[in-house]
């Protein structure tokens, strides 16, 4: 198991051999305007397995003064954090982190290039 309290991320190992890993998007292909899907379970388990579509709206956003994030207009609601942000090829672009409660269309994900644990 791996965790990083600063970015609120944890990974666990599953002891199964028949689960293929997600493919990682090439960092050079992550550009403003590409289509993405945010997958997660917003609010509570009654809304599990939700997907929202959007685009990458910005790169290298210094939201917390420590890390830079991808900005997307795909809805990332409370409970979606930790879910994947994928491109239309099903490749991991980032890990959903949070959205601003008072600003519609401003959500953030940890870019795949900042995830150095794979």
Domain ranges of the chain: 23-114
Q: Which fold has domain 23-114?
A: Thrombin, subunit H (2.40.10)
Task: Please write the tens of the pLDDT for every residue from 103-117.
Answer: 777 888 889 887 665
Q: Long-range contacts for 41-44 (Cβ within 8 Å, ≥24 apart)?
A: 41/79, 41/80, 41/83, 42/75, 42/77, 42/78, 42/79, 42/80, 43/77, 43/78, 43/79, 44/79
pTM above 0.85, yes or no: no
- Which tens digits make up the pLDDT trace of 22-39? 899 999 999 999 999 998
**pLDDT recorded at residue 114:** 74
pLDDT of residue 43: 67
| DSSP string computed for 43-110 | SSGGG-SEEEEEEEEEEEE-SSSS--EEEESS---TT-TTSEEEETTS-EEEEEEEE-TTSTT-EEEE
Which DSSP symbol is given to 24? Answer: B
C-alpha–C-alpha distance, residues 13 and 57, integer Å: 32
């Amino acid at each position: 198991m791996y965790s990083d309290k600063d970015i609120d991320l944890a990974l666990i190992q599953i002891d199964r051999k028949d689960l293929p890993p997600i493919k990682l998007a090439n960092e050079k292909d992550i550009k403003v305007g590409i289509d993405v899907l945010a997958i997660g379970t917003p609010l509570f388990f009654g809304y599990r397995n939700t997907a929202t579509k959007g685009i990458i709206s910005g790169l290298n956003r210094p939201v917390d003064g420590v890390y830079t994030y991808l900005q997307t207009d795909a809805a990332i609601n409370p409970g979606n954090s930790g879910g994947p942000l994928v491109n239309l090829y099903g490749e991991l672009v980032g890990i959903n982190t949070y959205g601003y409660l008072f600003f519609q269309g401003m959500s953030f994900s940890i870019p795949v290039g900042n995830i150095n644990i794979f």
